[in-house]
């Protein structure tokens, strides 16, 4: 082939109407991501965009929203144990998973019920 995929530009997560404040509290205030400006033409659709390192998530409004319980982004983190302590402090439940040998990971859910996988990049 004369082309190849080189990266994921972003992952879109769906959320219900009027989700912006709750999305900011979770992704920006709790997880420490930075909100980035949406293009003017897309602002009218609602939602927010956030970034951290090479990760970009777009939280988009879906009129007949249903949370993604199986499909999910998998985000690498520099210290899973430090993040888990942070989650515990803020009373955010997480579920450790050891089904992949040699991979330290857990799952959390955003405020809208979407599953997010967190993987320790060092293991």
Would the pTM count as exceeding 0.85? yes
At the fourth CATH level, the homologous superfamily of domain 11-120 is 2,3-Dihydroxybiphenyl 1,2-Dioxygenase, domain 1 (3.10.180.10)
The separation between the first and the last C-alpha atoms of the chain, rounded to the nearest angstrom, is: 33
**C-alpha torsion sign, points 29, 30, 32, 33:** negative
**Using one digit for the tens of pLDDT, what is the confidence trace for 28-72?**
999 999 999 999 999 999 999 999 999 999 999 999 999 999 999
Q: What are the residue boundaries of the structural domains of the chain, listed by start?
A: 11-120
What gap in Å lies between CA 115 and CA 107, rounded to an integer?
Answer: 7
What gap in Å lies between CA 78 and CA 16, rounded to an integer?
Answer: 30
> Residue 92 has which token pair?
């955010």
């Amino acid at each position: 082939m004369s082309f190849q995929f080189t990266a994921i530009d972003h992952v879109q997560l769906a959320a219900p109407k009027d989700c912006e404040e709750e999305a900011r509290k979770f992704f920006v205030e709790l997880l420490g991501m930075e909100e980035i400006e949406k293009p003017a033409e897309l602002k009218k659709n609602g939602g927010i965009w956030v970034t951290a390192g090479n990760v970009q998530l777009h939280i988009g409004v879906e009129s007949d929203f249903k949370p993604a319980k199986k499909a999910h982004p998998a985000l690498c983190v520099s210290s899973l144990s430090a993040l888990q302590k942070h989650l515990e402090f803020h009373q955010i439940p997480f579920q450790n998973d050891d089904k992949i040998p040699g991979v330290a990971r857990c799952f959390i859910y955003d405020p809208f019920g979407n599953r997010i996988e967190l993987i320790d990049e060092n293991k």
